[in-house]
Structures are given as structure tokens and as C-alpha cells.
Structure 1
Amino acid sequence: MLIENDYEFDRKHIWHPYSSMKEPLLCYQVVKAKGCKLELYDGKQLIDGMSSWLAAIHGYNHPRLNYAIKKQIKKMSHIMFGGITHPSAISLCRKLIEITPLSLDCVFLSDSGSVSIEVSIKMALQYWLGRSENRQKFLAIKYSYHGDTFAAMSICDPQNSMHNLWQGYLNNNYFAEAPTCGFYDNWDINDFNDFAYIMEQNYKEIAAVIIEPILQGAGGMRIYHPKYLKLVREYCDKYGIILIVDEIATGFGRTGKLFAFEHAKIEPDILCLGKALTGGTMTLAATITTHEIAHTISNSKANCFMHGPTFMGNPIACAVALENINILQNNKWIKQVNNIEKKLSKYLLPLKKLRQISDVRILGAIGVVETYKLINIEAIQKFFVEQGVWIRPFGKLIYLVPPYIIKQHELKKLTQSISLAIENPLNFIN
């Protein structure tokens, strides 16, 4: 029997995210990661510009995070959360309540960002059942993305997202026009007209509004004006609607605030956290809500909240998440993110003058370069690897969300590689 080498086996048998099994994109085998460097099987090192999809904010193999894992695993790796609790979960939830708004004081732990969104949807639906109202509609905004599970997909933009394939299978919800005012633009009240109109016409049906604060991620890396988010909160208050804020991509400092909703000086009714919650070491998510919502749910027909993931409250994940937050509370991240924002502005904003570039957007440790042409993902990925960097574009977007610990010369290398990639026509689809 012929034994396939690793590359052939992976290509033939392993299904990677958003990839075809018939014509899979080339995958690069990483054997080690430390700091901001990924090491390939052949020894080549790549500077990471992705933080493993916004998760590894402290880089890889962080000694304090590793120690938290080792310390916990000596006690227990996992225990069911039904009828059982443990110190790691208690300590983490205590810390989450400490760092989030005072009104948020009930924490539900789960095992991924998409699941935390599912939990928030269930919370909103069960809340209204607890008030003897059967509300089943949600209001989101166009270009929104909230995850890949089915209820989460139903609140992603059905026309402009990766989930338009599933129209007809998903619940129909309301979608307001996305904000067009950028973060630093002069605010235009007309930006909010469509949201206001939909809310005014349909508020009696709406269980909750769900929104990505300030940054719309996979829907286009769109960075919008804080005033829009502030008005969303005001309209939810006006009509008595729950506001769910999806901080899975933005939480823990990425936008320059610990949580992106702080830019608008608001508080959510339900907050979803994931990705950077464990510093990118393990999968864990949290859905945090108010005492009032939690207790109203308990008054519903079920008399309890109907959700319970098997790996909910995993002790190792809780322990490393707690240490991740402890590292953040040293407050080095504020200076780190500010420095990244300055360097991204210095190196990327000049690209806006190029004929190939539609827009450049910077906020905190986020840099987005939008091109006019569609990107040839496999070609540009190969180009970046040859340059010694790891950047994963999509659509017409080349973006950077590096670990906060990145050094200046590493960040400069990432931005220079983007400049070179733009100049090469083979990296784009005509």
C-alpha cells in the first residue's frame, strides 16, 4: 500500500474552512509557533499578521498562559458542568463580571463564538416567553457576520455574506442598511434612518437587536461611527428591546478599548465574547447578561435556560482565560495597541493614493486595505509566504490584526509585503 505524504494526505482527506475538497487551496504546514513567528515544516519562519483570526493577542507559546494550562491539567482537564462547579470557572466568571459593565452579572460559558451567539438568541427568545410574549424576529444590519451555526447564520446579512447559500432554510429577520459613516468621519444622522424606520415599524415583533460594535468583521472589515451604535442603544431603550453586542472579534483591546462598545459609551443587555478570551490558546466563549433577563428566563415555561454544551466551563480553558485577562490588566496592551495603530497609519495610509486601492481603514490594532479587484487568494498567499509573512486576505480585502506583542520591524515587514503584493497583477483576478 502506497503511503501518502502529509501534503497529499491533507489535500485529499482534510476539509479546511471555506475550502473545496475538489480543488482545495494550498495549505502550509506549521510545526511550531512562538511569539509572532510561525515555523513551517521546512524551517521557514513567517511573521504572523492574523493572530489566528484575532485570537492570539499575546502571540504564541506565552509562558504565563502555558503555565496556567499546566497547573490546571495536573488537577483535572475536564469535568461536566451540570450539577458541578469548579474554582477555575468561578474565578473566571468573577473576573468577567469585574471587567464588564455593572449591569452584566450572569455568565453562561460555552465552547465557541458561534455557540455564544446561539446562546444569546435563545436568551432573547426565552426572555420574551418569560414575559408571555412570543417574539421571534431579530434586527441586525447589512454586512453583519455572527457565526456559522444555523441560528447565527440567520442574523448574518443574507445577501452580502458567505451565508446567502442558505436562504430558504434560515429564519427571516430584519436587516437595516449598514452604516456608511467611517469612525473618523463627520456624523450624518441620515446614516441611521433605515434602522430607525425598521425599528419604529416592527418593534412589537423584535426580540432583540444584535450588532458587531464599531467593526463589522467578516462582512467586510467595515469600521463605522460610534454615534450609530449609541443611537442603536437609545432606540432599544425607547422601544424596550434587548441589545445583544457581539464582541467576539473586537473584545479584549483590539479596537483600542477593552470592549469596542466603550467607544460609544453604551452598555449591552447581552454580551458575547470569544476568540481572544483565552489569548488564542483554547476554544472558549461567554455570553453575559443581566440579572433581570436571567431571572425572567427562569420564569418561562421551561423554568430554566435550555442549553448545556458538553464542554461548557472546561477547567483548562477557564484557567487560561483568567490568566489571559490578568495579563491584559497589566495594561501594557493599551500602549501596545496605540503603537500598532500609529505604525499601521504610517505604513498603510499612503497606499490609499494607489490606483489599485479603494480604501484604507485603521483602528487600534486593525489595518484594512481594500482593493478594486478581487484577490487571487492562492497566488497572494504564496506570495506572502515567500516574503516571510502570514496574511490571509478574503474578497477584496487585505487586512492585518497582529498580536499586540509584535515588534516594530515585524509590523513594518508585514506592511511592506502588502505594498509589494499590490504591485503584482498576478495576485488579482481580472
Structure 2
Amino acid sequence: MSAVWHPFTQHGLGEPIPQVTHAEGAILHTVDGRRIVDAISSWWVTTHGHCHPRIVAAMREQAERLDQIIFAGWTHQPAEDLAQGLRAIMPEALTRVFFSDSGSTSVEVALKMALGYWTARGEPRHRIVVLEHSYHGDTIGAMSVGARGVYNQAYAPLLFDVATVPFPSPGHEQATLDALERACADGAAAFIVEPLVLGAGGMLFYPAHVLAQMRAICAAAGVLFIADEVMTGWGRTGTLLACEQAGVVPDILCLSKGLTGGAVPLAVTMAIEPIFEAHWSTDRARMFFHSSSYTANPLACAAANANLAIWRDEPVLERVAGLAARQAAGLSTLATLPGVTGARAFGTIIALELGGNAAYLSELGPRLLAFFRDRDLLLRPLGNTVYVMPPYSITPSDLDRVHAAIGEACAVLAG
């Protein structure tokens, strides 16, 4: 019996847990010889494909030179190169790069930056404003600014209060904007949002003009705007950042997942200069108190630098556009099938519901998971919400397999 306790896994159900031995592109190979199509980028992280040669080579070379070094008061070239590389492709106003380890910790850093900014200014602003159905991670601060429910109900005593504005569902966008304006008028510290796509909340999409209006409301009220692009960044919505589609530049930007091409954990929180300056002082008590042992790990930074090189040297956005077109074409067929509702696409992502309204603990969820697993596909529905978010390197034939299996599931399971 394995001693491993897996995340988001109810071991009491006795579901099989395949063991993967190696991977390449969009394909996973298991110990029993199966060829699995990774249709969700291994939890949304793998952009260019598994074991990309340039990323693997960069980590191998770095491992022979420097594996790890404390980053408090020390530095190394991979981190310096990565910070400059990010500044070159991210919005010009985001001048500072703070390293951490995961999407959740990048959000924790963002929240602490925001509160530290107001504290340093001598203004008592503590309330964080969030969007309904949002998800920002599983650490305490990240859970606090996410939707309350099955993900975190056991930990409610640990979570801090937030102001929640309704999701801008079609026809109800103004209610969102009005609620945000009221929350900002009450002297909020920051508004945190997943731009254009809410991931774990059910792959919920909203239009760019709403994001732009939300940003304008925050700017008018002097409320810091935090964009959590952990999932939406690195091309998932069709552009490098989702914020680009709304002409939005956040005050604080969270990046992870595709930052290293999905190869190893790394995250950054980028901030505008006034936030850094608020912490700058000759008083040691005003420093930014956050770190981890592996902040800016050199191996991870080397992987991220290789990812930036791929974005510079290769036609990544052309691949993104091609994948988006194939996804949309597949969705057009799936949308016509009985039992399918809410068929939608955004960039390289498609999603739909089977069997009615979305519900994370839908009894259909485990059946769908098993159905796809038995067909050698890595698809992990969010309850009865089925979504496809593959690496950009997936072949047309493998993507067709994924779409066909979803169609088969509609016929077999959704009736």
C-alpha cells in the first residue's frame, strides 16, 4: 500500500491512481504501458509540452553549476536574468519582481504587499474585495480571498473576512460594477481578480470590457488592483496575459504555472514602483517580511529563462491561435449534443456542462473521471463541468480523440 496522501483525492473511494513513468509533448506514459493524452496540461501548468528539450537542457546545465542559494541578501544570475526578462515582456509599470514558489504563495505575497503598502502610508485599509466564485489557492490567505464552500468549509475559523462582488454573468454585469464601486468607496485596500476566466470556480468566462471597467473603478477609488494570472497567463486566453485583451495594467500581477513552461514550481509577484517604495526605508522594521527557503531557486529560474527564450524565439502565439481554432471547431460539434449545456470557449480553453447545472460534488464527476481514464485521457472534470486545456503542442489527432471521447461521454453518461 502506498504511503502517499494525494491532493484533491478521496482515498476512501478506492479509485485507481496510475503511475506515470515518462512524458513527452502532450503524452504521458504509465508503468503498465499506456499512452495517456494530457488534455488539461497536468493541472494547467504545461504550456509547450512535457520535457521540452530547451527547458530540460537549461535545468541540466544549471544543476551542474548552482543548485540552491539563500535569496535573502544574496542573488544569482538566473534570477537576475529572469527578472529583467519579465520586465521586458510584461507591462512597463510593473517594475519589481518578487519570487515565490507557487500560485498560492504568489497570491499570499500580493495580499501582503497590498496591506504593507497601506500600512506604510499610515492609512488604515485592510479590506480585500473579491469576485464571487473565484479561486486563488489553498493557503490561508488565498483561501480567504476565494469562494467559500466545499474547498475550505472545514477551515472557516482561519479565514479572514472579505467583501464579495457578484460574478458578472451575462445581463448582470452592471450589478457587479455597482457592487465593486460601493466596496471601493468603503476604503478597500485591494481588489483581486482572475482576469476573464475563473478556473476552479467552473471555467466561468466574462468579457474584457467588464475587466476594463472593474480596473477603472479601482483606479478612481485608489484601490490596488491585483490580477491573478496564475492560470490565465502565458497564452491560455489567446494573449500572453488575459489583461492585455482589456487594455488593463494591474498594480500587482501574480504569475506561476506556465512561468517555467510547467516543468518545475516557481512563481513571481510583480508590482508597480510605489508599492516597492512604500517598503523602502533605512528602518529594518519596514522591510517586506516574506520568504521561503527556496525563493528564486536557480534551477527553477533557469527553466523560466528557457521558457522566456521559447516565447522570444518561437511562434508561440501562432501555436496558441491554431489550438484555439481547433478547440472552437471541436466545441461547435459538442455543443449540439443532447445533455450539453453552457458550451463555451476562450482562447485555448473549452468547457461545457453535462447533465444540468454545474456542481463540484456532482455524482457525475467521478463517473466522468473514470470514463476518460479508461480511454487513456487525462481529463479532470470540475464536477459535471468538462473542460479541455491542453499543452500547445498537442497534435490535431490527439485533440480529436479528446473531443470524440467527450462526445461519447455525452451519449453514455449524460442521459
Task: Tell me how far apart the structure 2 counterparts of residues 322 and 163 of structure 1 sit (CA, whole Å).
Answer: 35
Q: Distance in 1 between matches of 2:198 and 2:366?
A: 24
- Root-mean-square deviation (Å): 1.7
Instruction: Name the SS of the counterpart of 2:168 in structure 1.
Output: coil
SS in 2 for 1:205: coil
Residue in structure 2 matched with residue 85 of structure 1 by the alignment: 75
| Secondary structure of residue in 2 paired with 1:206 | coil
Once the 2 structures are TM-superposed, how far is the Cα of residue 349 of structure 1 from its aligned partner? 2.2
- AA aligned to 2:103 is G
Residue of structure 2 in register with 1:184 after alignment: none
Deviations 1:292-315 (CA, angstroms, capped at 9, x unpaired) = 111113359832101011100100
Q: Deviations over 1:390-422 (max 9, x none)?
A: 211121211111110111111111111111112
Distance 1:163 1:199 in 2: 27
Q: Shift of the alpha carbon at 1:204?
A: 3.8
Match in the other structure for 1:401 = 389
Structure 1 runs not aligned, ≥5 long = 1-8, 182-187
Q: Is the 8 A contact 2:136 2:146 kept in 1?
A: yes
Distance in 2 between the 1:201 and 1:247 partners? 22
Distance of 1:134 and 1:372 partners within structure 2: 48
Aligned to 1:241: 223
Distance 2:120 2:235 in 1: 35
Shift of 1:351: 2.1
Contact 2:194 2:229 in 1 (8 A): yes
Task: Tell me the equivalent position of 1:42.
Answer: 32
Deviation at 1:61, TM superposition (A): 1.4
- Residue 203 of structure 1 contacts residue 241 of structure 1 at CA under 8 Å; is this kept in 2? no
What's 1:250 paired with? 232
Distance of aligned partners of 1:198 and 1:48 in 2 relative to their CA distance in 1, 3 Å threshold: closer
Asked whether the 8 Å contact 1:56–1:276 carries over to 2, the reply is: yes
Aligned to 1:76: 66
Matches within 5 A, 1:155-170: 155-159=145-149, 162-170=151-159
2:206 paired with 1:217: no
Distance 1:199 1:173 in 2: 15
Q: Distance in 2 between matches of 1:21 and 1:381?
A: 14
Aligned to 1:387: 375
Query: Aligned equivalents of 1:201 and 1:208: distance in 2?
Result: 10
Q: Which residue, 306, 322, 328 being the options, matches 2:305?
A: 322
Find 1:139's aligned residue among 113, 126, 129: 129
Of 14, 17, 20, 2:10 maps to 20
Partner in structure 2 of residue 346 of structure 1: 329
Q: Which amino acid aligns with 1:142?
A: E
Residues of 2 paired with 1:341 and 1:306: CA distance?
41
TM-score of the aligned structures, taking structure 1 as reference length:
0.91
* TM-score where L is the length of structure 2: 0.94
Question: How much has 1:195 moved relative to structure 2?
Answer: 3.6
Query: Following TM superposition, by how much is the alpha carbon of 1:205 offset from its aligned partner in structure 2, in angstroms?
Result: 3.4
2:335 aligned counterpart, secondary structure: helix
Aligned twin of 2:211: 229
Q: Deviation digits for residues 268-308 of structure 1, max 9, x if unmatched?
A: 00000000100111000000001111111335983210101
Closer, same or farther: CA 359–203 of 1 in aligned 2, 3 Å: same
8 Å Cα contact 1:117-1:146 kept in structure 2 = yes
Q: Which residue of 2 is the match for residue 417 of structure 1? A: 405
* Structure-1 separation of matches of 2:14 and 2:223: 44
